[in-house]
Amino acid sequence: MEGLSGREREGFTDIMSLMSNSDLLSLSDTVTNKLIVVENVTEAKETILSFTKNAEELLRRKKIHRDLIFKYLANEGVIMPPSSEKRQLIWRTLEYWSSGKVSVDNSPLCDTEETTEKASDPTNKSGVGFDPLLLGQQFCQWFFQLLNSQNPTLDQQPQDWGPQHFWPDVKLRLLARAGSEQMEDFLGAELVSLRLLALSREERLLFSPNLEPHGLKALASPHGLVIVAVAGTIHRDTACLGIFEQIFGLIRSPLENNTWKIKFLNLKIRGQDALGGTEVAAPALNYNSSELQLLCS
């Protein structure tokens, strides 16, 4: 019997914590062909883990519903389109477990810097060899997981959203093209925080960033500003509404444990009707490095 790796056991423990007691007991019967009688849910979980030959086999079981895997990935900061089929979610989960990456911390951005340093070099505590692209990836995972958690359709505990993640004079420019074109500008941490919150909580939008090389760019200025630009798709329930491109300006706050806070945001949203049949599965970023360089000056 091959058995599960430690990473897989940990992942399945998290998934099983989302399951009902009756489904867990039923799954235990299925995995053991009813040869082992369990007394309670704790025994059922341990039996399931002990008698599973491989992770894919267990993920494919009927009692491991598609929505369970989707919710588990969302909790881990692995954002998938809500329309994803179960087989796509299984593949992404197996890839995530085999990558050895730990989940992104849900706490404020100070931990994003710590995560970035550890990821680039576990012994590097000085920040030498700082990689803006790595920071960009960690930041986007953190930011979109945090924003998406405010969406009531995900049915998860909202994380700690609020003005504390922004500089007091932060600026947001929101450009939406869906039929007509609308542009909105917001100034100040409270207003910017509330407007972005409304996108997720009231408008029920889900943001799925494309963190592959063609969907993400990042660069740092000599003055401490880091520009992160990312493209992705926007969803509501199971419908893909269009694509977005977002640029963040990040600056460290020395008075708050060197946390990275957001100085400005430019968010451009294009609805399906404004795309003219363009492929939206993993949209590429239209901004080039020289355009982003201008924002640094």
Q: What is the pLDDT of residue 45?
A: 93
Q: Across the 297 residues of the chain, what is the mean pLDDT of every consecutive 10-residue run?
A: 81 93 93 89 92 90 91 82 81 82 38 36 37 86 92 85 94 86 92 95 92 86 86 87 92 78 93 58 66 59
CATH of 110-296 given 3.40.50.150, 3.10.450.50, 3.40.190.10, 3.90.1150.10: 3.10.450.50
**pLDDT for 276:** 52
pLDDT at residue 257 in the model: 67
* 3-state SS, one letter per residue, for the chain: CCCCCHHHHHHHHHHHCCCCHHHHHHHHHHHHCCCCCCCCHHHHHHHHHHCCCCHHHHHCCCCCCHHHHHHHHHHCCCCCCCCCCHHHHHHHHHHHHHHCCCCCCCCCCHHHHHHHHHHHCCCCCCCCCCCHHHHHHHHHHHHHHHHHCCCHHHCCCCCCCCHHHEEEEEEEEEEEEECEEEEEEEECHHHHHHHHHHHHHCCCCEEEECCCHHHEEEEECCCCCEEEEEEEEEEECCEEEEEEEEEEEEEEEHHHCCEEEEEEEEEEEEEHHHCCCCCCCCCCCCCCHHHHHHHHC
Q: Where are the domains of the chain?
A: 6-99, 110-296
